[in-house]
Amino acid sequence: MPTYTPPLRDMQFVMHEMLKVTEDFKQMPLYADMDAETINAVLEEGGKFAAEVIFPLNVSGDAEGCGYDAVTHAVTTPKGFKEAYRQYIDAGWAALACDPEFGGQGLPLVVNQCFYEMLNSANQAWTMYPGLTHGAYASLISHGTPEQKQTYLPKMISGEWTGTMCLTEAHCGTDLGLMRTKADPQADGTFKLTGNKIFISAGEQDMTANIVHLVLARLPDAPPGIKGVSLFIVPKFLVNQDGSLGARNGIYCGGLEHKMGIKGNATAQIVLEDAVGSIVGQPNKGMNGMFVMMNAARLGVGNQGQGLIEVAYQNALAYAKDRIQMRSLTGAKAKDQAADPIIVHPDVRKMLLTAKAYSEGGRALLCFSSMLREKEHNHPDEKVRQDSGEMLAMLTPIVKAFSTDNGWTATSACLQVFGGHGYIKEWGMEQFVRDARINMIYEGTNTVQSLDLLGRKILGNNGATLRKFGKLIGKLVEEEGSNAKMAEFITPIATLGEQMTKFTTEIAMKGMQNPDEVGAAAVDYLRVAGHLVFGYFWARMAQVALREIAAGNADPFYLAKVQTARFYFAKLFPETATLMRTARAGSAVLMDTNEALL
């Protein structure tokens, strides 16, 4: 059976030693009194909940899955899920980073992100039930009417009700402009929605009294395509004027998907039959509100990949220290045993360090992105708010795609450490791999994220935001360029930073002649950008660690950080050279292949 220990020490390092989040909080009146001790105490308790309450349900929840009653359309979650959720809301975890005006605790998003990393490590399937509610909350807090906020947000923030996002239909996935679900206006100002949605995570469950579905649909006079999509609140149970639950609405689960992973989460087929809904925002402008939820979800999905890397790494490391097989190539290390622990073998270490480097790099990026989100919404300086929002928009597809690609790579590597035992269910590793695979697909496949990054976020403003990130790198290079101990970390990011300008310009020029050139290069481009971002954070982490070592701090944590940074730059970062070469290979080798694909 797998085990899990919350990585509190590394979270504290990223927040307090590298990012110095409390210094940023002092500039935001909303968080001016927030201190490191409070953050650490909250996450310590959150780690206990993750490790002691929901982690023990992960393997059993995967084995049991969700139950579906075709007559009543009811869904039952695996044994223990409902009781764990009650503990979650009783302890106030649902309200952690939500607006106090509606009952939230008002803690910074970075605290919630770290908490959710631990939940995702412990049990991604369970975590998706409350996790999706945060996205629905973000959409309503931004685009809901005062009445909608008062009706729904207090119950969603308390955790009494959950939320979902209902986008996909059987004939259209990412291309939401093709959707057919319709919404007919009623005399009382409501709408009746009819249609079918699929792949709705947490779309039905037995854990809460109500589910608040955010549904995309078309009005009768809507223009074609994505410009004719509107957003609606469609609750499972209608809500009376006094806030009590009324009649059952015409929205129900028509079946559950039979999936490769996350089996403890109900991935529902949702049927709408004259379901009563209220419009969110303006008619035909539904994507404005939905993109708020989708972008929050994309950061959340990156966090899911992050969580799975961490738990897979912990278990692979423990196994590699214990499992004996063969002798070290440089001579016996465990002379009192018949063979050496497999951690002595170079390739086993490579697999372990790959997972460790991707986990710790991903944690730094997610915390940094969370702080950008806080600055965008709460910093008193308008320019800081604008710059933070712009930077976050560029980093969001990297968080989603790079972190989840790495999640697949790292969990697979950790399974490999176990050898044949990794393929056997009882060790738990194959579940991490299966669960990690979905994260590359939903909330916009990683190819879609790559097109968004290159086409919209980079080329859309002629690389202006990328240049702003380049200035962060330039500042670090200026600080450490003459420090010989930092050279192995600084030189690679300085070099790649310079190469990115030419690389991006080449793709832009080719794309102007043939748009397929952008499509052919996008996935490779995102991974190059992902390594540039990870490289920047790994250099910063090495900088902090080396300063602590130079000051006489003998804590092995800092030496481990430097060693991992060294591995990352030597073994993983060089992937960028190959990626730039394949991106430059162009579209012809893909598109001029009709005979090959007969």
Which positions are annotated as active-site residues?
443
Question: What pLDDT is recorded for position 162?
Answer: 98
* Beta-carbon contacts of residue 539 (< 8 Å; ≥ 6 apart): 476, 480, 486, 489, 490, 493, 565
Q: Give the C-alpha separation, 371 to 390, whole Å.
A: 13
- Bridge partners of 185, per DSSP, are 191
Q: What is the pTM of this model?
A: 0.98
Question: What pLDDT is recorded for position 176?
Answer: 83
Residues of the chain with confidence (pLDDT) below 70: none
- Dihedral sign, CA of 146, 147, 150, 155? negative
What is the third-level CATH fold of 292-584? Butyryl-CoA Dehydrogenase, subunit A; domain 3 (1.20.140)
Question: What pLDDT is recorded for position 174?
Answer: 82
- Dihedral sign, CA of 268, 271, 276, 282? positive
DSSP string, 408-433: HHHHHHHHHHTGGGGGSGGGSHHHHH
Question: What pLDDT is recorded for position 569?
Answer: 98
DSSP string, 126-160: HHHHHHHHHHHHHHHHHH--HHHHHHHHHHHHHTS
- Bridge partners of 182, per DSSP, are 194, 218
Q: Give the C-alpha separation, 451 to 458, whole Å.
A: 10
Question: What pLDDT is recorded for position 293?
Answer: 80
Q: Give the C-alpha separation, 278 to 192, whole Å.
A: 9
Q: Give the C-alpha separation, 243 to 152, whole Å.
A: 9
Question: What pLDDT is recorded for position 532?
Answer: 98
Question: What pLDDT is recorded for position 123?
Answer: 98
Question: What pLDDT is recorded for position 290?
Answer: 79
Question: What pLDDT is recorded for position 252?
Answer: 98
Tell me the C-alpha to C-alpha distance, in Å, between residue 261 and each of 40, 62, 153.
32, 8, 31
Q: Span 162-291: which CATH code? A: 2.40.110.20
For the chain, the 3-state helix, strand and coil shares in percent, each to the nearest 5, are: 65, 10, 25
Question: What pLDDT is recorded for position 584?
Answer: 97
Question: What pLDDT is recorded for position 241?
Answer: 93
Domain boundaries, the chain: 8-143, 162-291, 292-584
Residue 296, classed as helix, strand or coil, is helix
Q: Span 8-143: which CATH code? A: 1.10.540.10
Q: Give the C-alpha separation, 161 to 165, whole Å.
A: 14
